[in-house]
Structure 1
Amino acid sequence: MRAHISSLILLIGISSSIAQTNALNCSFEDTVNLTLSQKFMNGSYLYERVIVPPELTSYYDYIERYGGERQIVTRHLRGCVCYLKPCVKFCCHPRAGMTQSDEDLKCDEEVSDELLYSPYVNITLRNGSRVLMNVVDEFVVQTGMPCKTLYMLEPHKYDADKWELFENGTLLRVSDQMYFSTRDYCLQAYPENGTYMLDPMNCMITNDIPTRIKRNTIVLMISSPFLYATILIYWLVPELWNLHTKCLIGYLLSLAIGTTTLVVVNMMNADYDDVTCAIIGFGAYYFLLAVFFWLNVICFDLWHNFRGTKGNVQNLSLRKRFTYYSVYAWGVPALMTTLTILIQYSNLPNNIKSGIGDSHCWLKMDDWSAMIYFYGPCLFLVIFNIVIFYLTAKTIYTIRKEIRRFSKGADSQRHLHSQQHNFWLFFRMFIVMGINWLLEIIGYMIGENSDFEILIAVADFYNAAQGIIIFVLLVMKRKVLLLLKKRIRKSDNSLQLSERQNTKTNASTVELRNLDVRTKLRN
């Protein structure tokens, strides 16, 4: 009971901390640094001739680079300016040049008095028409490079480098129909044959995987075989077959397949085409959703058994109950996955799509899309399971109290011992299969906040190592090991008996042949 109360308090505290740090319902790419901006008495700020009201400002301790990668920086004030006026991204100050220093690109500190290039660019409007606009005057100018390794699009040289800029600041690379927000590109002027040209710069595509993902992938690779081993052992031992075990195998199977597909995504994320990426991503999404629904089924079934009511569910046969459980645990994730696919390939704005198969092989983790499609529903189920855990603990405590008060018989004591054993089994499973997912959700909500770096690392390792922990709890028990040993011996005995029968059969055949030969010789 203390475990789930502490977790709830921790979740509330972290959520409050996140809310204070970043209270804006605004993508990072739509914000600008207001540290050097003029502040008015009413709390508003002036940035590029745009008044930013105080409700559109908040403090950040990170910046986002290409692909949503967060970089921890000094806490600073930012404003959601791009909600008030469209933004466009420049690599450097619009009147500053760029130089190559060693392997890095750097902006010149010297700023010229006037623009050395024409700021007029054909802007594509919502109706598809194109208008020549001054991007420096008609847009709010953001500055910064999205990554360290950039290359220039040069449409005057290469047809593959053609691009379009939309009125909301989004850039389209025509050759592969890739769309980039202001977070993932920047414009820069450069000299070409004695004149200056203005073109966008894109990030070099690399296969480098962040250290955190590498670490988690390694642990998942080690942990996943233990999940399959647990499933195999429980399937091989008939004495362990019951409704609870079947539900547990459903949980373990969905978890094993889900984690395996995540390992595949993490190891070869950049090597898949869009179709393959979508298939793997939605497959992982479905099975990981099923994990939470099977966990919900396990908690409900245990609570229902302890509660001991005579309702409709109790009167059903075990086969029908498992059928209903399966329809719920496999069916609801299927409906959610179908809905997510339909939204992903609809004409709705990209900021409310999951991103699976488009910009990612997994959910977008750089905005709240993952919260809408995955972590939000899962958080609801985890909280529901915590409530069930509390009710189950309360029920068992009541049963224990009644048995001790009204009955001293051996049967009652055995019943009490059985209830206590089941409760502690439930408690251990809840800690492994419930708290770890709560920590995973908390880790997502925290993001890359350096203040909770140790907590995030512990939560990641605990969640990734779930297969090993479950194997130890479910398989490395005296009862299970004895049953497994008995099963192996039974198989060996059956094999030996079969070999003896084959030997006897062969011997009988040889004797018959010898008898037949002797009979022929006599004749």
Structure 2
Amino acid sequence: MFLADVLLVLGLLTTQRWFFIRSESKLPCDFLDSVDITDGVKTSDGKKEHEGIIYEPQNYGTLEYVYDSSGQKVQASNHVRGCVCRVKSCFYMCCSEKNILYNSSYPSCRNEPLEVRVNVSGELVDLATDPNLFKALRVPDCVATYADLSEWKMNRTGFVHSFGAVEIKQKEYCLHVHNEEEAADLFFCPEDSIGIAKISGIALSIPFLVATLLIYVCIPELRNIHGKSLICYILALTVTYIVLLFINFHSTMIPCSVLGYMLYFSVLESFFWLNVMCFDIFWTICSGVMIRNECKCFLYYMLYAFGSPIVILALALIFDFTELVPEDYRPRFGETNCFLRKNKWIEFG
């Protein structure tokens, strides 16, 4: 089983690279962090120049959809969008999803202020009129917390510095203007203390899972059908926890989307092995019949518990990297986080 997980990682790395070479349709950033650069000039080395900004090939993608006035994806002719916040300094404005207007190369926010003033070294500076900055929109994915002026400051590049116990991350803040003559308010997503406790719990669970695994592997009397099934279940659960740690510590050893596919597979595998163990207990108690050919029975269990996640993962890969299904029905691993896109949990979770 461990060998199978290793082969899965290698397969995902190879598959992702092959699909990346074949397709440019996946935007390497959030739609709200991109601008339409279709009319830009493409150089011989694959770079794209638009309005004086150079986009490397990894910073733009070709899309076949746009958002209509209601914020729904609709099919459209191919156009190129560049991840502007990867190549230019950005500052972020708060905007709710219902107030976003998709009516130009870059979305705007209803009642968007013309001036965005912040306190820079004791002076109110209008970021909106700075040609070196790009005003991007951000939809907070949490209950945003107001930051007091004593807890942060911003420099002329839109970078936020936080003070004291408050940590404001660059990807989790946005500005709100209530009066254009005064400094903008800053809101941010506070660090989740419960999340830290969960990560600690996961890290502490792994040694005990490994210890349980070693006990069942080393004692022959425990290696009956149920014991072997439990070994496979614990192994899948251990892989799940290890991948979760990689994701939460933002490791760059393995690409984010590959970690997402690994997590998806290992979670599915653990649930299928749990299903196998439940069925085995049910069958043993209800039938009262001793299984003579345990190897054949366990082979059937393996085909079910290991084969089913492979089929589901293969479908997710096909949906993600082909035009077989519309854009709205694709799982989009690694697009907004390392796992499923946030609005795809119901369909694929």
TM-score, normalised by the number of residues in structure 1: 0.34
Q: Select the structure that is richer in helix.
A: 1
TM-score, normalised by the number of residues in structure 2: 0.49
Greater Rg by CA: 1
